[in-house]
Structure 1
Amino acid sequence: MLPRLTPLIAALILTVSAPVAQAQLSVVATTGMIADTAQEIGGDHVALRPLMGPGVDPHAYRQTRSDIVAMTRADLVLWHGLFLEAQMEDFFEDLARSRNVTAVAEVTPRELLLAHEDYANRFDPHLWMVPGLWRHAAMEIRDALIAADPENAQDYTANAETFFAALEALSDYATQSLSTVPEAQRVLVTAHDAFNYFGQAHGFEVLGIQGISTDSEAGLSRIAELVDLLVERNIAAVFVESSVSDRNIRALIEGAAARGHAVEIGGELYSDAMGDPGTHEGTYIGMIDHNVTVITRALGGEAPERGMSGRLSAGM
């Protein structure tokens, strides 16, 4: 008869014989769009920390002390590039000398980028507004995860294919919905120029009060110019952004009202940041689903009230 094992010895045997859980890859991502994409591709293999949450403007964001600690300890740091995180670029250049750092949007073919109006050799960074363009960043995220954790390459590749399929479905929904907006109404007036790729992809004229960066100031002449345009072209809806003050949009509405023309806020769009964590709008897919649905419905097109999969928040 085998000797009876004490509970302590039995526990020790189980501990020794049990497989050792593989440590997750520690990943820090600057924007929510990058973090969500990395989570979709990385799955259970990654532990993600996004630096910028809902309503945070990446153009003006500066790293905090806790951010620096997290990034210097991470296995992989993912940032956008194309001068989006303008205040952090020098830090990332220094960090890349000793840590695994990847600018995920810099790989986008230059012929697909929109040039910056004011600076030579700089480009509009807002690629995530078009799922087909965001695919390039997603591929770079996949490759960065594989390079940092080759043992799980097969899972990263499979997860990426699933995400690419979701991007394609999202792109189809955007094309179908936005095509129902009457051509005369395809004018998108927002707080800053975050929607130029969107406009190019779907045939919309995009007018931002501020430039590509929220650091640029909107002068009185620019606001007056846009008020004239709203009145002359009978534009009835403008849009606020979740990560930009609505002060200038309110000035447009008041200016148009003084001219006898009523303009309403067509809705809040997610431009440089996603929605709240735990919501559909707090994912990359949900963010674009929301924008497409709100723009379509506000400008006279046809789209389901709750978006392409019925998951948008009610009463948006």
Structure 2
Amino acid sequence: MKKLFFLLIIPVVFGCKNEKKSNQKLNIVTTTTMITDLLTNIGGNLINVQGLMGSGVDPHLYKASEGDVTKLANADIIFYGGLHLEGKLVEVFEKMAHQNKKTVALSDALDSDTLIGSESFQGNFDPHIWFDISYWKTITSYVVKILSEAKPEYKQAFETNGKNYIEKLTTLESEINTIIEQLPKEKRILVTAHDAFNYFGKAYGFNVVGLQGISTATEAGVQDVQKLAAFIIENKVKAIFVESSVPKRTIEALKAAVNSKNHHVEIGGTLYSDALGSAGTVEGTYIGMFKYNVNTIVNALK
């Protein structure tokens, strides 16, 4: 009944007339913290950005509240990840499309032939596209285009901000490659709570293994834990990692299973996967998060 009520109130909310903002800024609503950070970098003080999800929030399981509906109703443009990242919001976005609300999936900026598929995730593509910096550059240009079309008078400013941000991302690529080079190739095995780092592994030469699947909606069973424990022992993996947006009990169970077989493995730290760190911290930005993750991984595995 709650789901039905939620879907039914959308036409009512969208039927209301939105008051014009005196400053004429675009009202932008984003889903994940990575997208919020991206829009803030490109739009600067020329847009108003409201993110639905905060630090530590799992987008795979996120359910929109009635307050979120109001934010979405008042938005000029809604930016979301796509590829079923925001699994429980898909129906909401589909409903909005019928209400002529501008919704933008960042995944639409990418060539689907380059995406990582997953038979275990209902035949869909892996949605964790932000872990390939080259993808994030392409997405940056795409967002610049969308904002410029919506506000042509600010096109030059959006393009300048986008260019500056892409330059920062290029510097980030160089820095993390230098850090990763410290880690011998045979030690580049990344074991995490769920399959969020496949694009990272593909781009930077890591063998990535997640205890859960691409979506955290898929629970890991005892057999999964035992199978991965055997893999860790066989490959002499030194450290495994928890994630800020995923309960750490499954990784703790994995550690216990490995140690019970007389192979010592440590929890190497907490990685940011589906959400950035707290607002106002270095890890609360995409660039800061990426550097933190790479340093944490390399320091624990080398």
> TM-score scaled by structure 2?
0.90
- Secondary structure at the counterpart of residue 265 of structure 1: strand
Query: How high is the sequence identity, in percent, across the aligned residues?
Result: 40
Q: Look up the match of 1:6.
A: none
Structure 2 equivalent of residue 289 of structure 1: 291
What runs of 5+ residues in structure 1 fail to find an aligned partner? 1-19, 301-316
Asked if residue 109 in structure 1 is aligned to residue 119 in structure 2, the reply is: no
Measured in 2, the distance between the counterparts of 1:179 and 1:298 equals 14
Q: Does the 8 Å CA contact 2:238/2:300 hold for their aligned counterparts? A: no
Contact 1:105–1:136 at 8 Å: present in 2 too?
no
Alignment of 1:162 with 2:161, yes or no, is no
Pairing of 1:94-243 with structure 2 (within 5 A): 94-97=95-98, 98-119=100-121, 122-243=124-245
Q: What SS does the corresponding residue of 2:179 show, helix, strand or coil?
A: helix
Q: Contact 2:245/2:272 (CA < 8 Å) preserved in 1?
A: yes
Equivalent residue, structure 1, for 2:51: 50
Q: 1:91 to 1:21 in 2, by over 3 A?
A: closer
Q: Which region of structure 1 is more displaced relative to structure 2, 249-258 or 174-183?
A: 174-183
1:166 & 1:293 partners in 2: Cα distance?
Answer: 18
> 1:106 is paired with a residue of what secondary structure?
helix
**Alpha-carbon contact 1:179-1:202 (below 8 Å) kept:** no
| Cα offsets for 1:16-53 (capped at 9, x unmatched) | xxxx9733211100001111000100011011100110
TM-score (norm 1): 0.86
Further displaced range: 91-100 or 51-60: 91-100
How far apart, in 1, do the equivalents of 2:121 and 2:60 lie? 15
Aligned-pair CA distance for 1:112: 1.6
Q: Match of 1:105, SS?
A: helix
Where 1:48 maps in the other structure, the secondary structure is: strand
> Which stretch shows the higher mean deviation, 246-255 or 121-130?
121-130
CA deviation profile, 1:132-166 (whole Å, cap 9, x unmatched): 11122222221221122111011000000001011
Contact 1:25/1:75 (<8 A) preserved:
yes
Work out whether residues 79 and 102 of structure 1, in 8 Å CA contact, stay in contact via their aligned partners in 2: yes
Instruction: Specify the SS of the correspondent of 2:299.
Output: helix
Deviation for aligned residue 1:107: 2.2
Q: How far is 1:234 from its partner?
A: 1.6
Find the residue that maps to 2:85 and give its secondary structure: coil
Q: Which structure 2 residue ranges, 5 or more long, are not aligned?
A: 1-20
Q: Aligned partners of 1:74, 1:88: CA distance in 2, in Å?
A: 16
Cα deviation, 1:91-128, whole Å, max 9, x if unaligned, reads 11111232121111122111220012225652001011
- Could you say which structure has the larger radius of gyration? 1
CA separation of 1:119 and 1:265: change in aligned 2, threshold 3 A: closer
- CA distance in 2 between counterparts of 1:286 and 1:32 reads 13
**What does 1:251-270 align with in structure 2 at a 5 Å threshold?**
251-270=253-272
1:195-243: per-residue Cα shift (whole Å, max 9, x none)?
A: 0011111111101000000011111111001111222222110000000
2:105 maps to a residue whose letter is: A
Larger helix proportion of the pair:
2
RMSD across aligned positions (CA): 1.4
Counterpart for residue 303 of structure 1: none
Q: Which amino acid aligns with 1:290?
A: Y
1:56-71 correspondence to structure 2 within 5 Å: 56-71=57-72
Matching residue's letter, 1:89: V
